[in-house]
Amino acid sequence: MNQPLIGVILAQIGTPDAPNSKAVRPYLRRFLSDRRIIDYHPLLWQPLLHGIILRTRPGRSAKLYQEIWMEEGSPLLVYSRKQQASLQQLLGSRYQVELGLAYSKPGMPEAFRRLEAAGITRIIVLPLFPQYSSTTTASVYEAASFAALGRHSSSGQVSKRFVPALRFIEAYHDAPGYIAAMKSLLLRQIGKLKEEPDYYILSFHGIPRRYAETGDPYPQQCHETGRLLAEAMGWAPDRWQLTFQSRFGPEKWVGPSTADTLTGLSGRGIRRPLVFSPGLVTDCLETLHELAVEGRELYASGGGTAGNLSVAPCLNDDSEWMAFLSGLVNGTAQGWLQPAEAADGSHLPD
């Protein structure tokens, strides 16, 4: 018996439409107005955001985006589209995979409209964030929920009568398939180098320390990911460390700082470091510029040779990684598919 398709939304934060201040400004406005990202009271934050930040930061950010922009567009969007296409191929005709970005196009409402136009009433939301954070995973959950409900806020006008069934894929920071995919990627990258790195930095996007102290499990999950990956790679404790990048504003953030660590590596006698970002699974400004460009500058400022610092790419559309994601989706779809209708042709558990 034919069954309706199951929808899948690959969920990401977002990216500007173009590498110029005109496009960066609305993206930053939406991103920095989310109270899961910046939780200050709007009466305090919004005047600062509109009066200072959105007047100065878009131009600076646009220059950075120009240095990494690809012929096809924003790296994050280009690689996200590749992830979407790869996952669709792996999952097969029983699923329809869409991309939903929280703060830019294609947005969550667009993803839901596409799925619902195909008659889909059951949707799986897959956040491309292995570690849960209130600033990423929860923001995506919220954006997807409002899009499904057909409203912009809990008190906003309702634009839909029918709401599809939703399933959210939870954090997978310690999943063996995720760890194995990263191990395979790193081994390939190391194999391309003339000499094996003498030190490894696992850099995660940071959050304010206050967020962690008030219940966000993100730092703990990052440390668990780092421990499992180091064990899988066979790294001795003195050959690697975990750091946090992308600090913003005056608050104290979780540490140690990636920037401070890179600056001090040469003084510790480290000559061939390799940096990898396990939590950012899609190459973007934070990896292609903050780590690969600014990171080398920081390493050199501390006395190292910039060209000796290697930066591994994100998982992007790596085949082993995509196979892991397809397994997550199939597992989440249990009860929505008949046992014989798993994408790989095998029977799903009852």
- For residue 70, the model assigns a pLDDT of 97
| Closest listed residue to residue 185, CA positions, set 11, 322, 288 | 322
- What SS3 state is found at 291? coil
Same domain, 213 and 271: yes
- For residue 340, the model assigns a pLDDT of 53
Same domain, 289 and 195: yes
The C-alpha atoms of residue 214 and residue 208 are separated, in whole angstroms, by: 10
All residue ranges of the chain with pLDDT < 70 are 1-2, 153-154, 156, 339-350
Same domain, 81 and 158: yes
- For residue 306, the model assigns a pLDDT of 97
CB 61 within 8 Å of CB 26: no
Does some domain include residue 63? no
pTM: 0.92
Same domain, 153 and 180: no
Same domain, 11 and 153: yes
Determine the Cα angle at 78 with ends 73 and 82, to 5°.
Answer: 155
Same domain, 144 and 12: yes
CB 202 within 8 Å of CB 240: yes
How many domains does the chain contain in total?
A: 2
The C-alpha atoms of residue 245 and residue 203 are separated, in whole angstroms, by: 6
Does some domain include residue 1? no
Unique residue bearing structure tokens 């490894």: 200
- Domain residues for the domain of 202 are 176-311
DSSP category for residue 128: S
Does some domain include residue 283? yes
Same domain, 207 and 230: yes
Same domain, 79 and 110: yes
